[in-house]
Structure formats: C-alpha cells, structure tokens
Amino acid sequence: MGVQRHEALAEDEPAENACASSSLNQGALPKEIYVRVYEDRMDLLRAVIVGPYGIPYQDGLFFLDFYLPPQYPDVPLFSNDMQSACYHSGGWRINPNLYEEGKVCLSLLNTWTGRGNEVWDPKSSSILQVLVSLQGLVLDSKPYFNEAGYDKQIGTAEGEKNSLSYNENTFLLNCKTMMYLMRKPPKFVSSLLKLLKFDHMVSKEAEAYSRELACFD
C-alpha cells in the first residue's frame, strides 16, 4: 500500500527518489496518507491526508508542504524563524491547529509547547510521526478542545455544547474546502483526485452540505 500511495501522485509529478523516502524512516504510511517527494529536491515533500470516517473532516483532503532544513533531523522543522511546514487552507480556519495563512500548530514542529514525546527528538522523531500526529490528534472527532485552554471544558455540559456547534461549522467548512479543491486543485495532484474518485466524494458531501443548510431555513 505504501508504494501505491506514493504512485498515486506520480503521473504528473517528478519521479520519487528512494533516498528521499528515508525521511519517513522507511515506516509504512498509514491508510489515507499520501506522500510525494522529489528526485531533484530531496528536501521538499508534499503530503495529503484524507479526513477519517465519522468526524467533521470526513473525506476532506488536507495538503501540506514540508521543507527539510539542512540540519534535519537534528533540528525540528520550525527553527531559526523559518517555517518548514505549510498547510493549504483555501483561506479557511478549519481547525484550531491549522491557520488560514498556512501555519501548522504542533509541538513536534516546534510551533507549540510540549513535553516528552510531544516535542521533536532527533533520535526518534520523523516526518512519519508528524503526519500520524496530524491525522490522529489534529483531525480528530472533537477539534474544539484542541484550542489552547479549551481542554478544561472536556466533560462539561458547556464544553460538549460548544464542541457540537464547532463540529457543525467545521463540517460546513470541510464541504467548502472540498469544492474549492475541485475548482483549484494544488499542482501535481490530479492523478490522486482521480484515484480517490474525489468528484464522487465531493458530490456526496455537497448533498449533505445542502441538507445541513436546509436546517437553517
């Protein structure tokens, strides 16, 4: 599956270089994560995460570009005032950790505080760990509580009410970003959209979006 997911981006992109794949520590990519690296620029890679089933981000595509600094992996991907991870937001703030201007807020990237295995460790951390964290910890079922300080509301009636409202708005934004990607897909991803039958996914979510809007009429 890892090879197939790499090839999904290969039809209209430069060929993948096996050496660049070592930045993933040769770990098998989890389901619904796709990665493309470049033969002539092994310090650059593009990742696509498909929103997991059953959460507000279901079927959404989340595009992130990474630059590996010369000191990698001895330094985290954000150091010396250089942001080395960029999220393609489409202009929407769809998650507390993903900003409109492309900033990715994550302890592993040194863009947020953390401790223990939450922060970058040159001996054990990898791009794979970053991608898995984004998939499982950022794109989760209750993203409202990812906002700084909001974790104190977990388990309270107010917190659950706010979380539900946030999820409803996030679902609508996810539908908007899916339609935006259909109109203006990032470069070098047309083969992936075909592989995922993204037009069908967008149609399905658009129908759900329309039903959601009808509830407010």
Which active-site residues does the annotation give?
105
Q: Let me know: does 50 contact 30? Beta carbons within 8 Å.
A: no
Neighbouring CB atoms inside 10 A of 194's CB total 12
Q: Let me know: does 41 contact 19? Beta carbons within 8 Å.
A: no
What CA–CA distance (Å, rounded) separates 159 from 91?
27
Structure tokens at 180: 């935006």
Q: Look-up: residue for tokens 């954000």? A: 78
Structure tokens at 89: 């937001």
- For 151, residues 6+ apart whose C-beta sits below 8 A from its C-beta are 145
CA 93 to chain centre: 13
